[in-house]
Structure 1
Amino acid sequence: MNSIIVQSEVPVTLIGGGAVGVNDLETALALAPELVAADGGAAAALAAGYMPQAVIGDFDSIPETVRARIPASRLFPIGEQESTDFDKALRSVAAPLVVAVGFLGDRVDHQLAAFNVLVRHAHRPCILLGAHEVVFHAPARLRLDLLAGDVVSLFPMGRVTGRSDGLEWPIDGLHFAPDGRVGTSNRALGPVTIETDGPGMLTILPRRALMAVAAALSRGT
């Protein structure tokens, strides 16, 4: 396991090599001004006119022409092949929040792998920013300032129980599991509070809820 490479007192944007929407990087940087690239995400960063503070990964998908443009002091290769570049990068960043772009909207297997990483590194607050949604691992207690009618989907990556306030269909007494009950397309009545009895619950919200999610994860509730 590698040690911390990037230590930041402000939120960090992490860019991957997948689909990056027209405004994704700018939206993320407005919230998380430090930029780190996961392997091939460096190419997308440079193409958008940004030099990443660090590039982390196994470097099997970063072109040599891109690598040559980045100072050697900002390159941090991690050679093991047991984990994804998203995993390598996320576990190497210590920051109050990570906003990750370029990890949704491309290959399904890569998206599933990213969800797996969110759960395995649940102690590192991270939001995956997509074209239409944001995805993150729910902490033990989560309070979100949502609008009435906002879609709130809960997807368990393990067996999870919990309670809620402010959802049209409360989750109290329900047993969630990836091979059992899931919580697709619930709806907010307004501000929402969700408590879970253990790790493993992914939360999927409309993209417009990004700021509310960032505020909730940053304050730890």
Structure 2
Amino acid sequence: MTSSIDHHSLPETAAETLVGGAPVSTDILAIALTRAPRLVAADGGADTVLAAGLRPARVIGDMDSVSQAARAAFCDVLAPVTEQDSTDFDKALRQSQAPFVIGVGFIGARVDHFLACLTTLARRREAAPCLLLGDEDCLCILPAEVRLKVPIGTRVSLWPLGPATGQSRGLEWSIDRIEFSPGGRVGTSNRSTLPDVWIATQGAPMALILPASQLDAMLEMLKIWPRDAGASAL
């Protein structure tokens, strides 16, 4: 993978692509970097960055999964955080000054790691937005009220991280008057019936899961793309 952008020299306030240790295709990494050009690795994600022929601005984590080759290549940007009470994903987000973060290498591989990331996103629902992007899906925590512009028939899945309720317009199965919970009713595999979907939620955080092809729609919904993302890259 080659790039004309110097991903490691951008200011800390630029939109950030955070690379985790799960497998990441070069296509997904390139898509993320186009929208969030500052490159940071979380622990073992440093090896993904090294294999892609790129250089991160920083490698953050407890360093238990970084190969010797990546340690040597990125020795000047290692930022070890030794405490064991949080994940490397959480550590990296706590240190980020970016207006938004796209995380790749966090969906897939180990389910327990992904669930820990989802918990971190829920806890940080009031912080700068973070989206997770994989080959099949993109995911974020929903703000209280959003408008989502997607093609009719797009898969729109909602996953509650606690008791929650909501209202919707433009979904095949309305979420009005439904009481959601992780151990009760969830909202997976819904579909859009209008090009402009409205969703409002109350209560616990709710994750929105869309096809990966709708990443830009998710960024637009969160009001961080394209205008803000482009501005942050300069």
Report the secondary structure of 1:180's partner residue: coil
> Which of 79, 88, 91 lines up with 2:91 in the alignment?
88
- What TM-score, normalized by structure 1, do the two folds share? 0.92
Report the secondary structure of 1:30's partner residue: helix
Tell me which residue corresponds to 1:196: 201
Tell me which residue corresponds to 1:105: 108
Aligned equivalents of 2:80, 2:169: Cα separation in 1: 45
- How far 1:172 moved relative to its partner? 1.4
> Which of 166, 169, 176 lines up with 1:172 in the alignment?
176
Look up the equivalent residue of 1:86 and give its one-letter code. Answer: F
Aligned equivalents of 2:147, 2:12: Cα separation in 1: 25
Aligned equivalents of 1:91, 1:198: Cα separation in 2: 24
Give yes or no for the alignment of 1:205 onto 2:220.
no
Report the secondary structure of 1:36's partner residue: strand
Query: What is the RMSD computed on CA atoms of the aligned residues?
Result: 1.6
Structure 2 unaligned blocks of 5 or more: 1-9, 226-234
Aligned equivalents of 2:182, 2:65: Cα separation in 1: 31
What are the Cα deviations for residues 38-84 of structure 1, in whole angstroms up to 9, with x where unaligned? 01101111110110001110111111221111142x22111011111
What are the Cα deviations for residues 184-211 of structure 1, in whole angstroms up to 9, with x where unaligned? 1111112111111134101110111100
CA contact (8 A) 1:140 1:198 kept: no
- Cα–Cα, structure 1 residues 124 and 7, in superposed 2: closer, same or farther, change >3 Å? farther
Look up the equivalent residue of 2:89 and give its one-letter code. Answer: F
Tell me which residue corresponds to 1:11: 15
Look up the equivalent residue of 1:210 and give its one-letter code. Answer: L
Give yes or no for the alignment of 1:163 onto 2:167.
yes
Aligned equivalents of 2:117, 2:19: Cα separation in 1: 13
Look up the equivalent residue of 1:82 and give its one-letter code. Answer: D
- Equivalent pairs counted in the alignment come to 214
Look up the equivalent residue of 1:106 and give its one-letter code. Answer: A
Aligned equivalents of 1:199, 1:191: Cα separation in 2: 24
Aligned equivalents of 2:15, 2:223: Cα separation in 1: 9
CA contact (8 A) 1:135 1:202 kept: yes
Q: Whose strand proportion is higher, 1 or 2?
A: 1
Runs of 4+ with >6 A deviation: none
CA contact (8 A) 1:38 1:85 kept: yes
- What TM-score, normalized by structure 2, do the two folds share? 0.87
Look up the equivalent residue of 2:216 and give its one-letter code. Answer: M
CA contact (8 A) 1:7 1:95 kept: no
Tell me which residue corresponds to 2:144: 140
> Which of 1, 24, 29 lines up with 1:25 in the alignment?
29
Tell me which residue corresponds to 2:42: 38
